[in-house]
Chain A
Amino acid sequence: MQFFLEVLIGGLLSGVMYSFVALGFVLIYKASGVFNFAQGAMVFAAALTFVGFQELGAPFWLALLLAFAVMVVLGVLTERIVLRPLVNQPPITLFMATIGLTYVIEGLAQGTWGATVRGLELGIQDEPVQWLMEATDIGVSKFDLFGAGIAALLVTLLALFFQYTRVGRALRAVADDHQAALSIGIPLQTIWRIVWAVAGFVALVAGLIWGARNGVSFSLTFTALKALPVLILGGFTSIPGAIVGGLIIGSTEKLAEVYLGQYVGGGIDSWFPYVMALAFLLIRPEGLFGEKHIDRV
């Protein structure tokens, strides 16, 4: 039982890490209906920019601010150069554009800061909480708990932003209906710029957490792969869905790897979440918290 609990808790905390990346996808999809394939590249670029500024001598907070500024500029440029010319184009066109954007961001980031793998220290040790370990023999990482705390804070801030600010309400209006939002004077382009900037901020937070965990390298772009089943399960338009989806995916993939992996050769945690997400699609195609799409005939 103790081992089961340890696997479960570890899985839940890993799931929170996946949610970080999923949040960025949700924000952009919610506001513009675009599935942003470049979210993983944004995570990588944000973390690399942060450590790049640190290497140039910037202290933590300045590096964070500068990296955020870079992500805002990137968001604004994306809206101006990539999205604006494609307004009213089919979603698949916008999706393809974000695939191209992925390569541009990856190349720009590596071209600017170099391809070397870097370490990133946030000052939180990735070691078990000692008293819990001694009392229960269950290892729960301090760093994972810190990540969960940051995720909770981020979701609260985003919820407050969407619910109680003018911009947040405008964002929701745009998400509901572009045409209707435009007709009542909501500036679509400004909203898109803001949402890409917020997604850039979420990418920065995700990049810092994942970078501190595994190092800042190109592999940060792969974190997007972990977010996809979370999105399918939680719904593409729901912030709480990204969190709950992350928790479900994280815990089930770990339990599956530990208890089922041995019967199929192991290493199943890469595909098991997708199988689960697919199975879930059959029952609830819009995801746990996704909006039900009804078309009039």
Chain B
Amino acid sequence: MKMSKTLSTSLIAAGLLAGVAADAFAQAKEQFIGLPSYRVGAYAAGGSGVFGGWIDYMTLINERDGGIGGVKLTWEECETEYNNARGVECYERLKKKGSTGNSVFQPVSTGITYSVLDKVAQDKIPMVTIGYGRTDAVDGRVFPWVFPMITTYWSQATTMVKFIGSKEGGMEKLKGKKVVYLYHDSAFGKEGLGVIEKQAQKFGFTMVPLAVAHPGNEQQSQWLKIRQEKPDWVILWGWGVMNPTALKAAAKTGFPREKMVGVWWSGAEEDTVPAGDAAKGFIAAGFNVAGQNYPVVKAIQDNVYKKNKGNMEDKSRIGSVYYNRGVVHGIITVEAIRTAQAKFGAKPLSGDEMRWGFEHLSIDAKRLKELGAEGFMPDLKITCADHEGSGKVKYQQWDGKQWKVISDWIDADRDMVRPMIEESAAKYAKEKNITPRDCSKEG
């Protein structure tokens, strides 16, 4: 009796120990990603799409592939409401989570990016800012922890002029033309101003800047001026309600929407649907395209939504511009983990190891095809000195119901942009007393 009691106790103890060990093992095979999302407040429409798509892609990797190299992805959302103070709070709250701490921070907000710029370097957590943030952080020699990937505002501005040039029948035809730069009166809105000005000098067109005060729900004066100026094209560097308001005002003043080119924060369904018929013909830039007919989106529907594990409440938004942008965030994150695992082994990675993964990330055309993302996003190759890696942009046109791709990937004028980036980064390095890295010595 005593023997059997001892045996039972031993078995229970062994079982408990095994359980704890298994838990610890399972925990050790998880890669934690902190998500500073915004699903309520002024920018919830965009935030819910981006973070929904991103989470769906990570769920796909877990469900279909069992994680990356056997390491499951785990995540936790922290609501920022697109507010800088809350963003910093979320950064602090998330950084110690998971077995190796938060391995990457992607705020999807330029304001939060600036707020934690110094912190990420101290905490050794890479910060990825896809299509927003600080443009000169492309210079990885000065900003080793920041990755403004795929394409920056400056690159985009050069592709806009290239696109307009192509529509006019060649860059030489831009001479004598007039382009209005209608921008959100903020740091974001002014971001493209310098590059467009330089291009105006280079190609001989006139650029007329017109500021719109935040939030941009009243633009009558600006559009009366546009009617007076009679421009050939209008570049819309808008955000939020400024976009549908501009489209409606353009319709009211009779300016053709086919001659309006928007920044990628003007080119989502959330910008065109509220404008109704007034949005028809409007063109916008994008580093990802809209649509459900891509294998990667179909894979999410088959492996995630059919199992009722999807993140989007409104399933009609799957394939929207913001949703697909979230999928791009997911692809970049997952591919960086794969890259880092190839060097450090299939285990949960620290921020430092993840940084290496991002800095050596290469997604070529072949890999894009394997991922089911051919034509969905551009190929890219990150290096120590170049944290942008691509600079390519596609243009889409709103046909009244959906976005239709109307261009191939257009390369940025990197010869023009790179010296500007280096000059600005060098200035920052001097201010902050940073010695730029020698990339020839980086492994």
| A interface residues (Cβ-Cβ under 8 A, vs B) | 3, 6-7, 10-11, 14, 106-107, 110-111, 114-121, 126-128, 139, 141, 210, 213-219, 221-223, 226, 253-254, 257-258, 261, 265-271
Contacts and interface: CB of A to CB of B under 8 A. Distances in A.
8 contacts: A6-B224, A119-B274, A119-B276, A139-B253, A218-B44, A221-B42, A222-B241, A269-B213
Contacts of A215: 241, 244, 273-275
B211 A265 contact: yes
Interface stretch (B4-12, B23-31, B215-223): B215-223
B314 A267 contact: no
Contact of B252 (A107, A114, A127): A127
B45 A116 contact: yes
With a 10 A CB-CB cut-off, give which of B40, B211, B213, B221 has the most chain A CB atoms: B221
Q: Which 4 A-B pairs have the closest CB atoms?
A: A215-B274, A270-B213, A267-B211, A115-B44
Nearest to B186: A267
Given A218-B42, A258-B224, A269-B221, A126 B241 contact: no
B411 interface: no
B274 A7 contact: no
A218 B41 contact: yes
B270 interface: yes
A10 B218 contact: no
Contact of A219 (B39, B42, B211, B248): B42
B415 interface: no
A11 B219 CA distance: 10
A3 B253 CA distance: 13
A10 to B, nearest CB: 5
Given A110-B40, A214-B244, A271 B213 contact: yes
Given A117-B274, A214-B241, 5 more contacts: A110-B40, A116-B48, A126-B252, A219-B217, A222-B217
B274 A214 contact: yes
Interface in B32-51: 39-45, 47-48
Nearest to A137: B227
Contacts of A253: 221
A141 B213 contact: no
Interface in B197-253: 209-215, 217-218, 220-222, 224-225, 227-228, 240-241, 244-245, 248, 251-253
A192 B226 CA distance: 47
Contacts of B244: 117, 214-215
A106 B39 CA distance: 12
A291 to B, nearest CB: 30
A11 B270 CA distance: 27
Given A3-B228, A126-B251, A10 B241 contact: no
A270 B186 CA distance: 12
Contacts of A261: 211, 221
Contacts of A128: 252-254
B290 interface: no
A286 B41 CA distance: 34
B222 A257 contact: yes
Contacts of B76: none
A104 to B, nearest CB: 12
B418 interface: no
B178 interface: no
B210 to A, nearest CB: 6
Contacts of B273: 117-119, 215
Contacts of A257: 221-222
A223 to B, nearest CB: 7
B224 A267 contact: no
A21 to B, nearest CB: 11
A6 B217 CA distance: 19
B278 interface: yes
A258 B214 contact: no
Contacts of B271: 117
A254 B221 contact: yes
A107 B252 CA distance: 33
With a 10 A CB-CB cut-off, give which of A141, A215, A222, A258 has the most chain B CB atoms: A215
B410 to A, nearest CB: 28
A135 to B, nearest CB: 16
B211 A117 contact: no
A270 B214 CA distance: 7
A3 B225 CA distance: 9
B220 A219 contact: no
B244 to A, nearest CB: 5
B275 A119 contact: yes
B310 to A, nearest CB: 15
A269 B252 contact: no
Nearest to A13: B220
B221 A117 contact: no
Interface string B259-282: 000000000001101111010000
With a 10 A CB-CB cut-off, give which of A253, A261, A266 has the most chain B CB atoms: A266
A95 B240 CA distance: 29
Contact of A258 (B39, B221, B254): B221
B317 interface: yes
B39 A115 contact: yes
Contacts of B217: 210, 214, 219, 222-223, 226
Contacts of B270: 116-117, 217
Interface string B379-420: 000000000000000000000000000000000000000000
A166 B222 CA distance: 47
Contacts of B209: 266
Nearest to B228: A3
A226 B217 CA distance: 10
A110 B48 CA distance: 12
A3 B229 CA distance: 12
Contact of B313 (A106, A114, A217): A114
Given A115-B39, A141-B252, A14 B45 contact: no
A116 B268 CA distance: 12
B185 interface: yes
B228 A117 contact: no
A119 B44 CA distance: 16
A265 B28 CA distance: 56
Contacts of A127: 251-252
A254 B219 CA distance: 9
Nearest to A254: B221
A269 B218 contact: yes
